[in-house]
Structure 1
Amino acid sequence: MPPRLPQELAEMIIDELGDTYQRPTLAACSLTCRAWLHRSRVHIHSAVRLDPNSHLDRLSELYSGPLADYVRSLSIDASRLKKIHRLALEALVWEQLEEQTVRIFLTNYDDVRDVWLAACDFYNPAAFVRLLQSFGKADSIRMEGMGCDPVDFEEALEENGPVLHLQALDVGELCNAPSIVARWAYHGRKEVVIESIHFSWNHEDPVHLSRLLQLAGPSVKSLSITMDDHVQRVRTTPGELQGAVDLSQNTGLRTLRVLLRLETSNYIEVSWIGDVLSQLSSQLLAHILIFIELPSYELLDKLRWDLIDSALADTRIPALKKVECCILRRYMLHQGLDPNAINRVRNALPKLAALGILEVSQEYT
């Protein structure tokens, strides 16, 4: 029986095979003994390459389990796939892609109309901006769970074109810097046309969202804004946020959805919601939805319902046919929904109730 090869020497040989990517030999090493299996897999599965000849179903099944932990490099050869109309990128770290893959994403998808980005990380927001700039014919750009480090990207914004036309721009939950998308959408533009806009805003100053809405003006038909009370926590003067989100130029609005997400049971100044609603001047606005997500029913008595009531019952909105107000209660064990909450809200909005256009409901989030 031949002498056993020392483990340290075996690993050195396997590493050498990995450096020269001798896949068949590495595969043989992985089958030789259990002690060599892990080291061999590190090299065999460290780089995954996709091209038009790849068996995607087989690869998806192969890397749906523990082998996925070995993948360190993803290379995509899509040079022959130039007629793609919908592109979805999910769970990738942009800076870890190979240069060739990045180049393909930035140059090969001129015909893409629908872009979906989910759970992607960009260490440099300039790279994210340049990716968005590469979809010059896109009609719809949607995203959620995007992460960008807070570093300067002004130089990338200077490469914006003068015109942006979109049917939909959706910046959903867990995007840690929605202002990057807002600034990309308006910076350096002479014309911005976006029919449907949704932004989930967090702790950032909403000034960039306001600038985008002002420039998009009457082109916006449907607007949805989710905003939590972190925006108010960084301000110390009551009413300081008045006019921060300016809707006065959105005269083409037909539907408006506002989700106010209250994160704390402490008193927070949120009267700005009435100030924002009082700017509405669209003659076409027919439907408004207001969602109030709260941790405690005590906050119902601290909201400035009178400002909301006065703003929405104003005759400046002649087409308004329905105002829906929904209380979103976070589920807590042994704490059910308050049966009196709906009447409390209705009583706090007497002008809307008198017009017969108010609907109040509540549900768990």
Structure 2
Amino acid sequence: MTDPPGAIAPPPPPHLSQELYDMFIDALAVPAGPISRADLLACCLVCRSWVHRARTHLYRQIRLRPLTNLEQYDEIYTKNCLLPYVRQVAIIGCLLRHVYTPDDAGSGLDDDEHPDHSWLDPAAAFLARFQNIELLHLYDLSWGDIKKETRDFFLTHFPDVTMLQLSSVDFWNANQLFRTLESFKHLLALSTDHISWHRANYTRRQMSQTDSMRLRRLMLGQTEAARYGPMITWLLGNRETFTVDEALISWEDTEIKSLVRLLRRIAPTLSCLVYQQSMQLPGSENAEARVATANALLGNPLPIVHAAAANPPAPIAPQVNQVPGTFNAGQINIIEGFNAGLIGFLVAADANDGNEGTDDEEVGDQDNEDDDDNLSDDHVRPSTPIELEDDEPEAEDVIAGFIEEDGNFVAEGEAMRLGLEHLDEAPITESSIKILQARVFCTTMALFGVKLMCQLVSPDTKNFTLVLILPSGWSGPVLRWSNLSSVLDWAAVNNMLAVAAGRVTSGTVLDLVFHGAVGRPLADANSVSLKSALREYLPAVFASGQWRVFWGNTLV
């Protein structure tokens, strides 16, 4: 069809610089997901000058799992095709059956339901071609079931890694965990979540690191069979310089001196802290209740004794009401908010992983691969040895001391008393935290968590949000403040919040949020008795006019 006589031809499209095109494509890539992936694929069809930038997002990550078709990958991940774009490697063990697609579920197990990581040997040979990898994610692995030469490959072949994410990895023993961590000398971001080890056989050298460490982001997530103390000791070591810009800490242990040591060290340089306190490990009343229930069901109501254990504690699965619920004033999902925002580059299942268009569709695009809150160590064989041939040697008497210390679980009530005394005797006085978001479950340890967070408030703080998760047996249509009073000393809480408010400058946002356990609605926020009770229990909070108080999602 020809234009009619006298028609004016449209002007040519404007010529923009490549930098502007790149910025446009970069904007399409955030947030990552199926929609942005479709947009980026469309960009590849616009013109040749758009292809390279779009591919840097589309094929930035490669994920390998037991059923990955390595022959097919061998053809497409070449220097003339997709290889130059890869900067992130994820190794997914597929040991857990409930978090993958049916084909992948349990594909990392042998016929006897034991971990089978033999597929990692050819995978390592394939990965040898990849250079300049920035992020390494190890997910759902039984470390000791990986061939020694293959473990060594993962610890030596990626020297440029600046972001390390360890999720649901059973390291067998602490020595192997710290061998792994110290293999990456240039870390800017470190994330651990649901990691396990069963023997505290770390060495004095491992606990005495001297290399400077400047982390932009640190995430210490929930644990399985591992305690926080050794991890924090390794982080601090004998380093003259150790700084963190943004941190997420999910604390479940009654051993709190390590926590205070860490926060005291990083608070002067920390700009953002997301904190969750939910007692789950042995020593907590939550763990005691579960053990007592299990014993009662077995007809064996044995008393619970807090003493050094000869064997490591069994993994404890989080309760359904402990699952983190996007965070703003009236909501409680601070964990997911942190993952999606501040630490978003630590991706576990990025939809833009570069595997679309192959017959070997990657896990995680449809399934709930990242739902780690219900993970367990059921795949670990009971008779598995926990010492490995490449453990760094240490004197047996030293290891025995570490094991004894690691097996000592302080009861929750005693831990709270010691924690409050410690903060009174040596308060945290230097803090530069601008954004402080805390989620504290109202157990016996709650008062310690409130005091710790309030001590971190300073004139630099611009936003402090404290979410208190009320006990599941308390929340409901009928107010029972007497029940809650048995858990929290409200006069102390009122004083702590008042002192914190006195440290901030004008314009700082202070939010106090009450939430019930998941699935248990709170009482009507509009009731006169509720407002009266809150004002009675927290007079300084309401009198100051600085705090916004939320009951669920409702501003009181």
Into which bin does the TM-score normalised by the smaller protein fall?
Answer: 0.7 to 0.9
1:359 counterpart residue number:
548
User: In the TM superposition, what whole-angstrom CA distance separates every residue of 1:52-86 from its partner, at most 9, and x where no partner exists?
Assistant: 72889xx9999625654334423222222221111
> Residues 307-346 of structure 1: matches in 2 within 5 Å?
307-314=492-499, 315-318=502-505, 321-332=508-519, 336-340=521-525, 343=531, 344-346=533-535
1:218: how far off?
A: 0.7
Q: Say if 2:310 is the partner of 1:125.
A: no
Note closer, same or farther for the CA distance 1:331–1:198 as it changes in structure 2 (3 Å cut): closer
Distance across 2 between alignment mates of 1:330 and 1:150: 34
| Amino acid of the structure 2 residue aligned with 1:64 | D
1:88 to 117, 121, 137: 137
TM-score by length of 1: 0.73
1:69 matches 2:109:
yes
Q: Secondary structure at the match of 2:420?
A: coil
Q: How far is 1:270 from its partner?
A: 4.2
Give the letter aligned to residue 100 of structure 1: E
Question: Number of residue pairs matched?
Answer: 312
Report matched runs for 1:1-365 at 5 Å: 53=74, 64=104, 67-70=107-110, 71-73=116-118, 74-75=120-121, 76-77=124-125, 78-158=127-207, 160-175=209-224, 176-229=226-279, 230=284, 233-236=411-414, 239-242=417-420, 244=422, 248-262=428-442, 268=444, 270-277=446-453, 279-280=455-456, 282-293=458-469, 294-295=471-472, 296-297=474-475, 298=480, 299-302=483-486, 303-314=488-499, 315-318=502-505, 321-332=508-519, 336-340=521-525, 343=531, 344-363=533-552
Q: Determine what percentage of the aligned residue pairs are the same residue.
A: 17
Q: Is the 2:67–2:104 contact (alpha carbons within 8 Å) kept by the matching residues of 1?
A: no
Separation in structure 1 between the aligned mates of residue 104 and residue 75 of structure 2, nearest angstrom:
16
Structure with more strand by fraction: 1
Using the TM superposition, give the Cα deviation of residue 122 of structure 1 relative to its aligned residue in structure 2, in angstroms. Answer: 0.9
Deviation larger for 278-287 or 46-55: 46-55
**TM-score for the superposition, normalised by structure 2:** 0.50
Distance 1:69 1:274 in 2: 44
Output the CA distance in 1 between the equivalents of 2:491 and 2:75.
62
Task: Letter of the 1:185 partner, please give it.
Answer: L
Classify 1:237/1:253 alpha carbon distance in 2 versus 1 (closer, same or farther; 3 Å). closer
- Shift in alpha-carbon separation, 1:346–1:138, aligned structure 2, 3 A: farther
How far apart, in 2, do the equivalents of 1:261 and 1:163 lie?
35
Change (3 A) 1:202 1:317: same
Change over 3 Å in CA distance of 1:50–1:165 after alignment to 2: farther
The CA distance in 2 between the partners of 1:288 and 1:313, in whole Å, is 13
Conserved 8 A contact 1:254-1:286 = yes
Cα 1:286/1:304, change in 2 over 3 Å = farther
1-structure distance, mates of 2:105, 2:462: 50
Q: Which has the higher contact order (CA 8 A, sep 6+)?
A: 2
Q: Is the 8 A contact 1:213 1:250 kept in 2?
A: no
* Ranges in structure 1 where 5+ consecutive residues have no aligned partner: 1-45
* Alpha-carbon contact 2:207-2:233 (below 8 Å) kept: no
1:278–1:193 CA distance, 2 compared to 1 (3 A): same
Kept after mapping to 2: 8 A contact 1:111/1:137: yes
**Aligned residue identity for 2:458:** S
Contact 2:413–2:445 (8 Å) recurs in 1: no
Q: Is the 8 A contact 2:163 2:190 kept in 1?
A: yes
1:262 offset after TM fit, Å? 3.6
Q: Give the superposed CA RMSD.
A: 3.5
1:177–1:86 CA distance, 2 compared to 1 (3 A): same
Shift of residue 140, structure 1, vs aligned partner = 1.1
